[in-house]
Amino acid sequence: MLKKTLLLVSIPFFVQAMTITALLDALGHRPENRLDRLNVEQSALGEQVLSDKLMPTVDLFAGYEVYSSPNGLLPVAPNELIKMVQDQSIGQPFSEHITREGVTFTWPLFVKSIYTLKEKAKLLHLASKEKHKLNLIERQAVVVGSVAQLRYLESLRKALLAKKHSILQTSVTTKIMVEKGRAAPSALFVLNSHINDIDIALNSIAQHINLLQSKIETLTAVHLKKSMPLRLKRHVRKGEIFALKPLKAKVKASKKGIQAADEAYIPSIVTKGNYSYSQANAYNNGNAVRENFGMAGIYLSMPIFDHSKSTASQMAKVDYMKEKTALDQTRHTLKVEAKQLEREIVLLRKSLKLAQKSVVEQQKLLKIAKVSFKDERMTEEEYLRYENALANARANFYNFEAKVWEDRAKLAVIYGNDLREIVK
């Protein structure tokens, strides 16, 4: 029963793994995507960390203190102290050994830079979310491009096998011609040499296929024995360059960093307080003394001179310029790349039509060449050129087809289109 259950569970995975949609869905369950999600969660905590700095902090303490001369358990008013001096039976709250327990609290009421840093943290969180989406689309583009290349190599292998089969058929006819003395024995050597070259090319293709399969498996954990069809669901929707969004958020965040660094000079308001319970033996008569004391206050802190704040401001400005320059450079690069890809796709579609027409024509020419070679109206070298021409025409067609998909995937990354909505 368990084996049947496992079989039923595993069947949908293998069925889905044979579609490009299932392959792209697998990316969402990989460690790379989980790491991106953790980065988003971590960036969200950045804002919480700053909010925590505006919350009160409360600490308990306990200690045992030893002094070289009697020290007070608490401040004593002069009138109270006079009474104690006049009456030595009263234990004075001074001792060389004091035990203290108590609680302290601090509560920042107003620190302007923290509010600005919270805005910066929000922008960095937004950048992290946009980067997460962008990274996923980039991995989708790699998978689609790899599958397209895999289809190209499989088609190229098929074309070479067809060429090999065609030459093998010709070699049978040539062998008969050699036996009858109508062709030189070297003709067979030439054909066998071409077959050997094809086998070398097929082995090289197998190596490249292996690399692509490993690349896809690394990203999706799915091992493809063969490629799957790629059909266009819809064209890439153009608009704002999505790949710039994380960088734009970082530029805004770094600008907030400059503001926060400058606001470090703005006065801050903090309230502080403590309560302590102290015990000791009075130094004047040795009697046990127990006293409690508390205080609370509100404080205004104003930086007058702190050169580190000036340096921090300069560093914030440099960070902003770095992020701004990176944004400007990437914007220019992606705009140029988007235009180039859009033009290239148009040209590749035209090339596809021409290549398809070329394949049909070369098939007709090869058919004529085979008859001419058999009737000894064409040399062997001339015949082989037609075999090569057909193989090259097929290779061009499959190569153009793969490049179209690669360019579509790159455009999807630039404009932030989920490739599951584009390819099926």
| Residue 377: CATH number of its domain | 1.20.1600.10
Is the residue at 10 inside a domain?
no
145 with 409: CB under 8 angstroms? yes
The predicted-structure confidence for 303-318, as pLDDT tens digits, reads as follows 888 888 888 889 989 9
Tell me: pLDDT of 85 over 90: no
Do residue 349 and residue 321 come from a single domain? yes
Do residue 144 and residue 229 come from a single domain? yes
Contacts 24+ apart (CB under 8 A), 162-165: 162/391, 162/394, 163/198, 163/387, 163/388, 163/390, 163/391, 164/195, 164/198, 164/199, 164/202
Is the residue at 228 inside a domain?
yes
Model pLDDT, residue 355? 87
Tell me: pLDDT of 153 over 60: yes
Q: How far apart are CA 23 and CA 179, in angstroms?
A: 55
Q: What is the mean pLDDT of the chain?
A: 86
Q: What is the mean pLDDT of residues 100-122?
A: 92
Is the residue at 319 inside a domain?
yes
Do residue 365 and residue 416 come from a single domain? yes
Total tally of structural domains belonging to the chain: 2
222 with 147: CB under 8 angstroms? no
Is the residue at 296 inside a domain?
yes
Q: Which of 301, 324, 349 is the endpoint of a domain?
A: 301
Tell me: pLDDT of 130 over 90: yes
The predicted-structure confidence for 11-44, as pLDDT tens digits, reads as follows 334 433 468 999 999 998 999 999 999 999 999 9
Do residue 329 and residue 195 come from a single domain? yes
Do residue 224 and residue 337 come from a single domain? yes
Q: Which of 301, 320, 353 is the endpoint of a domain?
A: 301
Is the residue at 1 inside a domain?
no
Distance (Å) of CA 240 to CA 50, 122, 188, 237, 245: 32, 22, 62, 10, 9
Model pLDDT, residue 2? 38
Q: What is the mean pLDDT of residues 372-381?
A: 75
What's the per-residue H, E or C state across 294-326?
EEEEEEEECCCCCHHHHHHHHHHHHHHHHHHHH
Q: Residue holding tokens 């040499």?
A: 193
Model pLDDT, residue 18? 65
Do residue 186 and residue 78 come from a single domain? no
Do residue 338 and residue 275 come from a single domain? no
Is the residue at 178 inside a domain?
yes
Do residue 322 and residue 388 come from a single domain? yes
3-state secondary structure of 109: strand
Tell me: pLDDT of 97 over 60: yes
Q: What is the mean pLDDT of residues 65-86?
A: 83
DSSP letter assigned to residue 287:
-
Do residue 144 and residue 31 come from a single domain? yes
Model pLDDT, residue 267? 92
Model pLDDT, residue 340? 94
Do residue 214 and residue 313 come from a single domain? yes
Do residue 27 and residue 129 come from a single domain? yes
Is the residue at 9 inside a domain?
no
Tell me: pLDDT of 381 over 70: yes
3-state secondary structure of 221: coil
Domain of 275 in residue numbering reads as 57-110+268-301
Q: Would the pTM count as exceeding 0.85?
A: no
Do residue 47 and residue 121 come from a single domain? yes
Q: What is the mean pLDDT of residues 154-173?
A: 83
Model pLDDT, residue 14? 42
Is the residue at 74 inside a domain?
yes
Model pLDDT, residue 227? 86
Percent of the chain beyond pLDDT 90?
46
Model pLDDT, residue 34? 92
Q: What is the mean pLDDT of residues 128-138?
A: 93
Q: Which helix (H) or strand (E) holds 288?
A: strand 288-301
Model pLDDT, residue 333? 94
Strand order in the sheet with 57-72: 57-72, 94-110, 268-281, 288-301
Q: What is the mean pLDDT of residues 390-408?
A: 87
Which residues are CB-contacts of 385 (< 8 A; sequence separation ≥ 6)?
A: none
| Both tokens assigned to 190 | 């030439």
